[in-house]
């Protein structure tokens, strides 16, 4: 390779590395990396007088064409959308599909050292971003915050990158003791940060990846070890379900309060409000009993500048936060209860902390208990507003209603937004206007947008190129596919720029640029191991 050729190649790899590095940091610099990659590709094609050949290879290769057809489906869906502005924005978000794919499908694949460098740059960059996040937002941990811990991108997208980084550190550990030790520390840190993010989906992804890893590893072992290892995999869901059931049982355990024999008046003489039918629980104490609102308001406003009927720092109703916090301490919701709060307690309530144990329990247990409380509240009120898991049930219910009315070609690209707005009104949803969001399930969103056939084609466009190039035989790609596929169950992953780039970049990298990939030949069949 000539000096000029080496320069183009180095720029090509550097642009990929820059994209990998910027994923957890900056959308702007991530976009610049794509421009650098495309610009280098075009200029090299002109210099080598191969520009036409590059376009021909990129847009005639079956695998690349099928994968890029996913973007084409969205472009086609603009023809029947009710919301052209949102549809065009979705196409803009998906531009990485037609940025990375033509480039990586038309030039020689990376060699092993180049791929290793790009992947490790990505993993270590994600690791570094979490250190910066912790330094900048450490105080939120004491108040049970976790969404605020992710400074640069959504905590949900950061969890995907952490899971993928763990897979990279495992599959590219190297041979030196120092490097292996560094990777082990990085893996432990990534798992710890997932816990700080309260990422139950992230730990679900790790469990599935671990199960796949054990299955894959055991395939090359003796019969006894293989069978015993795979049998042990059955214990994973059993142990997880047992832990969830234990937390649920302990959460619903109540104190000795007899709801049939509650005091009528507070010590100050005010009549208590009691909701005996739907009292809810906080740390095993009933929430909506022994509530003296007038005393509570006077006592609170003597201790805080925030209004009792106003909002806390998280935008929730302060009265609701205060009542929950008092209940979590086993206190009555009256002047005596407010007086018993410490200055730290008052500060925590002002900051939207609803439970005295928030930030002091294990993060996964705290998140599960939060979900249980939100679900109980949703069950008794029917209003899921502000409760992430309960709202997803409302999103799914509404989304299925839309999908049933548009089974063939869907609502078009961007048509989900007006379709959801109309369906919420028709279903008389109790969700507040600010919480009437879309499906939060990428598969359901695709079915709503393009019908059953569009969903089927989308899944085919993801699966077939990877199968054709043998990507499913590579453990790292399988781990990436697990992360992406599971993320689509609880999020519209492809409707955000970091999510769409995570999808397009790593798919193109691991399918079209993998060392030794012959893009002109079909892959050998993938046989089940063992």
What pLDDT digit, counting tens, does each position of 311-334 carry?
A: 998 888 999 999 999 999 999 999
Element (H, E) at 282: strand 281-282
The upper half-sphere exposure of residue 343, i.e. CA atoms within 13 Å in the direction of its Cβ, equals 0
pLDDT score at 2: 62
Task: State CA 59 to chain mean position distance.
Answer: 32
What is the number of helices (H) and of strands (E) in the chain? 22, 2
Q: What are phi and psi of 273, to 5 degrees?
A: -95, 130
Predicted confidence band of residue 521 (pLDDT cuts 50, 70, 90): very low
Write out pLDDT tens, residues 258-308: 888 899 998 888 999 999 888 888 888 899 899 999 999 999 999 999 999
pLDDT band at 523 (very low <50, low <70, confident <90, very high): very low
> Across the chain, what does the average pLDDT equal?
89
* Entry pTM: 0.86
Distance separating alpha carbons of residues 280 and 71, to the nearest angstrom: 47
* Radius of gyration over every alpha carbon of the chain, rounded to an integer in angstroms: 27
Question: Model confidence over 419-466: pLDDT tens digits?
Answer: 999 999 999 888 888 888 889 999 999 999 999 999 999 999 999 999
Give the pLDDT mean for 518-530.
44
Is it the case that residue 339 has pLDDT exceeding 80? yes
End-to-end, the C-alpha distance of the chain in Å comes to 43
The H-assigned helical ranges of 252-387 are: 293-303, 318-328, 335-339, 343-350, 363-381
What is the torsional sign of CA 180, 184, 185, 187?
Answer: positive
Q: What pLDDT does residue 492 have?
A: 93
Provide the β-strand partners of residue 282: 285
**Sequence-separated (6 or more) residues with CB below 8 Å from residue 117:** 13, 17
d(CA 335, CA 352): 20
Give 233-257 pLDDT, tens digit per residue. 888 888 889 999 998 888 888 887 8
Least confident of 343-347, 428-432, 478-482: 428-432
Answer for the pair 76, 92: CB distance below 8 angstroms, yes or no.
no
Instruction: Break the chain into its structural domains and give their ranges.
Output: 253-381
Beta-bridged to residue 285, according to DSSP, are: 282
Q: Is it the case that residue 526 has pLDDT exceeding 80? A: no
pLDDT of residue 89: 96
Residue pLDDT, tens place only, 37-73: 999 999 999 999 988 989 999 898 999 999 999 999 9
C-alpha–C-alpha distance, residues 265 and 271, integer Å: 4
Burial class (CB in 10 A: 0-12, 13-18, 19+), 135: exposed
Q: How far apart are CA 112 and CA 522, in angstroms?
A: 21
């Amino acid at each position: 390779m000539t000096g000029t050729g080496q320069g183009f190649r180095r720029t090509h790899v550097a642009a990929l590395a820059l994209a990998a590095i910027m994923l957890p940091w900056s959308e702007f610099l991530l976009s610049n990396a794509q421009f650098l990659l495309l610009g280098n590709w075009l200029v090299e094609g002109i210099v080598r007088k191969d520009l036409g050949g590059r376009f021909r290879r990129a847009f005639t290769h079956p695998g690349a064409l099928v994968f890029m057809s996913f973007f084409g489906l969205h472009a086609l869906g603009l023809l029947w959308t009710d919301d052209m502005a949102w549809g065009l924005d979705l196409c803009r978000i998906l531009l990485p599909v037609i940025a990375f794919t033509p480039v990586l499908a038309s030039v020689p694949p990376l060699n092993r050292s180049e791929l290793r460098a790009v992947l490790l740059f990505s993993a270590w960059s994600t690791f570094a971003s979490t250190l910066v996040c912790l330094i900048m937002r450490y105080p939120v941990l004491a108040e049970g915050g976790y969404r605020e811990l992710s400074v640069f991108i959504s905590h949900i997208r950061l969890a995907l990158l952490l899971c993928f980084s763990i897979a990279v550190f495992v599959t590219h550990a190297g041979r030196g003791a120092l490097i292996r030790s560094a990777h082990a520390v990085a893996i432990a840190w990534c798992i710890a940060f997932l816990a700080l993010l309260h990422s139950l989906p992230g730990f679900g992804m790790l469990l599935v990846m671990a199960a796949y890893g054990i299955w894959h590893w055991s395939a090359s072992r003796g019969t006894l070890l293989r069978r015993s290892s795979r049998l042990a995999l059955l214990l994973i869901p059993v142990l997880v379900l047992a832990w969830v059931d234990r937390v649920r049982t302990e959460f619903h355990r109540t104190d000795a309060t007899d709801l049939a024999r509650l005091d009528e008046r507070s010590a100050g003489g005010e009549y208590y409000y009691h909701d005996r039918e739907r009292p809810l629980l906080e740390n095993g104490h009933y929430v909506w009993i022994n509530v003296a609102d007038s005393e509570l308001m006077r006592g609170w406003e003597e201790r805080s500048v925030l209004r009792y009927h106003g909002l806390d720092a998280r935008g929730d109703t302060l009265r609701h936060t205060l009542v929950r916090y008092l209940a979590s301490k086993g206190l009555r919701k009256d002047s005596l209860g407010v007086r018993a709060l410490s200055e730290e307690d008052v500060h925590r309530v002002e900051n939207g902390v609803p439970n005295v144990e928030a930030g002091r329990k294990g993060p996964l247990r705290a998140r599960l208990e939060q979900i249980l409380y939100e679900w109980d509240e949703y069950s008794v009120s029917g209003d899921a507003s502000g409760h992430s898991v309960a709202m997803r049930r409302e999103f799914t219910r509404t989304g299925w209603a839309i999908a049933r009315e548009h089974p063939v070609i869907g609502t078009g690209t961007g048509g989900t937004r007006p379709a959801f707005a109309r369906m919420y009104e028709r279903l008389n949803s109790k969700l507040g206007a600010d919480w009437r969001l879309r499906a939060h399930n990428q598969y359901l969103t695709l079915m709503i947008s393009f019908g059953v056939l569009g969903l089927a084609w989308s899944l085919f466009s993801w699966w077939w190129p990877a199968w054709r190039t043998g990507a499913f035989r590579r453990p790292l790609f399988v781990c990436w596919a697990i992360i992406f596929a599971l993320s689509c169950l609880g999020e519209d992953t492809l409707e955000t720029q970091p999510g769409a780039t995570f999808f397009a970049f790593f798919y193109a990298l691991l399918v079209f640029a993998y060392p030794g990939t012959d893009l002109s030949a079909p892959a050998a069949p993938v046989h089940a191991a063992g």
